[in-house]
Amino acid sequence: MVKPVPQTVEATLELLAKGNYVADRSLATALLLALKMGRPLFLEGEAGTGKTEIGKVLSETLGRKLIRLQCYEGLDVSSAVYEWNYSSQMIEIRIAEASGKHNRDELEQGVFSERFLIKRPILQALEPDINGPPVLLIDELDRTDEPFEAFLLEILSDFQVTIPEIGTIKAKEPPIVVITSNRTREIHDAIKRRCFYFWVDYPDAKRELEILKVRAPEAAEGLAKQVVAFVQKLRGEDLFKLPGVAETIDWTNALIQLDKLDLDPQTINSTLGILLKYQDDIEKIQGSEAARLLQQVKTELAAGG
Amino acid sequence: MAVTVVAGGNGAENEPAQSKLVVNLMHFARALRVAGLPIGPGKVLDGVNAIRAVGVGNRTDFYWALHAVFVNRHDQHEVFDQAFHIFWRDPKILERLMGMSMPDLEPGMAPPEEPPMRRVQDAFRPEADEEREGEGEGGDKDEEEEEPEYDAVMTASSRELLNAMDFDEMTAEEVARAKAAIAKLRLPIPEVKQRRYRPALRRARIDMRATLRSALRSGAATIPLKWRRHSHRPPPLVILCDISGSMSRYSRMLLHFLHAVSNDRSRVHVFLFGTRLTNITRHLRERDIDMAMAKCAEAAEDWSGGTRIGATLHEFNAFWGRRVLGQGAVVLLISDGLDRDAGRGLQIEMERLHKSCRRLIWLNPLLRFEGFQPKSQGIQAILPYVDEFRPVHNLESLEQLIAALMRPAGRRLEGASEWLKQM
């Protein structure tokens, strides 16, 4: 049975909540548009803000197959779309020769038929699925190069792939496409124009606390509050790489493993590597700066609650 | 199709007027070509056909018909517009040509009030004029009288840019020279091997797909192998250019260089810095150099001011580093290294920059004096982190700049070692 896509923003928020994803209304709106109008969703933002997660959550909650295409430099058609099964083709040719078939057209048609086609993620995503159109997650598109981007244009606007030997393969129902980018370079406007664009930002304190409650439910209430306040303070610092939500969750889980109910400077210093990924940043925060931030956090929390 | 319809209606009585229109159109096209628009002979024919299709009765139609033919990118519009209004200024041309009365100029069609660009002026200068007369062999006296007048006066620009930085617009000759110079530019950066393949003639990797296809095509008993190998391409280029007071005498030339490089290859990002950082990549994409320079002049607010290299590099590292240095970029730093902050914080930022890029090339154009010693703290902070050091003693032209950049690469830090010893 095919689960229907949500029709209202509320329903979209609910759907995401069911998949343990706490989303802003703005993101839900963009997602709703993408789902209803059958266009890709383009998510851009810093690392660790939960872009990839959206694709996963969608496939989970809608019960669709998740097809993930991790991009890398030099990604080409043979690893993203299709490849011919050369060894089988060779055998086919040998058999044809041995059995004395010499009709070249027939042989060509036989060798270049779907039987010898190895389907890669994009072609798989165009195939009909019993659970409804799959979710195609094109992850970190900024890691590929421009030629591949250009190749995507046909797929993203018409949901079809042209294979010279066979012809055009078109999806009966367009897949749900989610594209993510860390913005290590600018993606061409032509791609963005075909998508609904959304910038995934760091959440505010309230939202981040909600996320922690869902993703790290074992954390004590007080600890979660301290963690969120501390991370929010860190994001105000002049750092090379700010900690994302993923880092917050990781850090909280680490603190749970250490049986902490309360933050203290020593623990922060020894676990700072989970939050900050650059030595310069760690050096800057470790020690007195961390203690100062923690002090601030504690006074503010005491005043607030 | 429209052409045949109208042309069919044109009898022999229009013949002389028609041929004069063709000649004038040819001159107009040549003027546009001199002004930098890519117009070939085919376009002139298209123009003639277009004019026939719309008729010459109405100046607006005439304008847009030619516009449709001669302009094929939005940024060419300005040049066309100015050239059109200068060339076809004398309404009598059309009147006499076609024996028709010209309708009044429509309000929207008034010539622009700003002085025309230098290149447009160049295109109507006497030299261009003579060339036209020389080539137009069949032109009799009547025709020459009918030719429009040329405004070759050097109109001083009255435009005052916000930041008091006003570059002379480029002359046609300068544009041509810049193009020629940039065509020669080969940065001392080896091309980078890509994970993509291209067909190869020699033994490399077997291209199974091509092999099988050709096997079927030939149908012979043997299967000839096809090969493929990795393709190469230049890495992305990020240019950080100093525009502080000490560099101001080179600003115009450097902008020419930046514009030429940006339009010469893909994946170029350009930043200007003085006391603040300005990303001018988009402005430089403007194909027209004068427009690009005007936009850059407007975008940066710190022309000819002080230099805070450390602070601006910090900004670059924090906001742009990860966005533009991602794919193994080469950084070209153009600066004299004279820092108002006396190198404070510069070292850390240089180290970060050096670690984030494939190769860091420093072009220092102010080393005019033979007895130069790297005493400045800014220079001392930068030097240890550059891979290529390109001091230039005399930087007066684009050619010299490019020659300095093209000198073959030494081993890492070789260029700087001599200076480092002095430190």
pLDDT in tens, B266-293: 889 999 998 889 999 888 888 888 888 8
Q: Do B324 and A72 touch (CB under 8 A)?
A: no
Contact B200/B420 with Cβ under 8 angstroms? no
pLDDT interval class at B240 (50, 70, 90): very high
Helix axis angle for A288-304 and A265-275, nearest 10°, is 100
Considering only CB atoms, B216 lies closest to which of A72, A86, A111, namely A111
Considering only CB atoms, A184 lies closest to which of B212, B219, B322, namely B322
Q: Is A65 exposed, middle or buried (0-12, 13-18, 19+ CB in 10 A)?
A: middle
Contact B361/B392 with Cβ under 8 angstroms? no
Q: Is B89 exposed, middle or buried (0-12, 13-18, 19+ CB in 10 A)?
A: middle
Which of B249 and A41 is assigned the larger pLDDT? A41
pLDDT for position B98 = 45
What is d(CA B109, CA B50) in angstroms, rounded to the nearest whole number?
Answer: 19
Judge whether residue B396 has pLDDT over 80.
no
pLDDT for position A233 = 93
A240 interaction partners in chain B (CB closer than 8 Å): 317-318, 352
pLDDT for position A274 = 94
Judge whether residue A135 has pLDDT over 80.
yes
Give how far the C-alpha of residue A42 lies from the chain's centroid of Cα atoms, to the nearest Å. Answer: 10
Share of chain A above pLDDT 90, in %: 53
**Cβ of residue A235 closer than 8 Å to a chain B Cβ:** no
Q: Give the minimum alpha-carbon distance from A266 to chain B in angstroms, rounded to a whole number.
A: 27
Which helix (H) or strand (E) element contains residue A136?
Answer: strand A135-139
Judge whether residue B37 has pLDDT over 70.
yes
Q: Do A240 and B317 touch (CB under 8 A)?
A: yes
Tell me the pTM: 0.70
Residue B148's identity, in one-letter code, is: P
Q: Do A145 and B194 touch (CB under 8 A)?
A: yes
Q: Give the minimum alpha-carbon distance from A293 to chain B in angstroms, rounded to a whole number.
A: 21
Expressed in angstroms, the distance from the first to the final Cα of chain A is 48
Judge whether residue A284 has pLDDT over 50.
yes
Mean pLDDT estimate for chain B: 71
Q: Do A86 and B212 touch (CB under 8 A)?
A: yes
The residue of chain B with its CA nearest to that of A76 is B196
- What is the radius of gyration, based on Cα positions, of chain A? 24
Query: Which of A155-159, A198-202, A248-252, B103-107 holds the top average pLDDT?
Result: A248-252
Which two three-digit tokens encode residue A151?
């190749």
Which of B90 and B309 is assigned the larger pLDDT? B309
pLDDT for position B155 = 28
The residue of chain B with its CA nearest to that of A185 is B323
pLDDT for position B84 = 85
The residue of chain A with its CA nearest to that of B238 is A185
**Cβ of residue A146 closer than 8 Å to a chain B Cβ:** yes
From A45-54, A173-182, B165-174, the region with the lowest mean pLDDT: B165-174
Residue A181's identity, in one-letter code, is: S
Judge whether residue B343 has pLDDT over 80.
no
Nearest to B263 by CA among B185, B319, B169, B320: B185
ipTM above 0.85, yes or no: no
What is d(CA B2, CA B50) in angstroms, rounded to the nearest whole number?
Answer: 9
Expressed in angstroms, the distance from the first to the final Cα of chain B is 76
**Cβ of residue A150 closer than 8 Å to a chain B Cβ:** no
- Residue B217 contacts by C-beta under 8 Å, 6 or more apart in sequence? none
pLDDT interval class at B174 (50, 70, 90): confident
- DSSP secondary structure string for all residues of A145-166: -HHHHHHHHHHHHH-EEEETTT
What is d(CA A42, CA A34) in angstroms, rounded to the nearest whole number?
Answer: 9
The residue of chain A with its CA nearest to that of B326 is A184
Give how far the C-alpha of residue B390 lies from the chain's centroid of Cα atoms, to the nearest Å. Answer: 24
Nearest to A131 by CA among A61, A35, A64, A36: A64
- What is the radius of gyration, based on Cα positions, of chain B? 28
Judge whether residue A78 has pLDDT over 70.
yes
Beta strands per DSSP E along B186-338: 192-200, 205-206, 227-233, 237-242, 268-273, 277-279, 330-334
B236 interaction partners in chain A (CB closer than 8 Å): 185
If you average pLDDT over residues B13-25, what whole number do you get? 70
Give the mutation candidate from A185, A188, A280 for the B interface (greatest B CB count, under 10 A).
A185
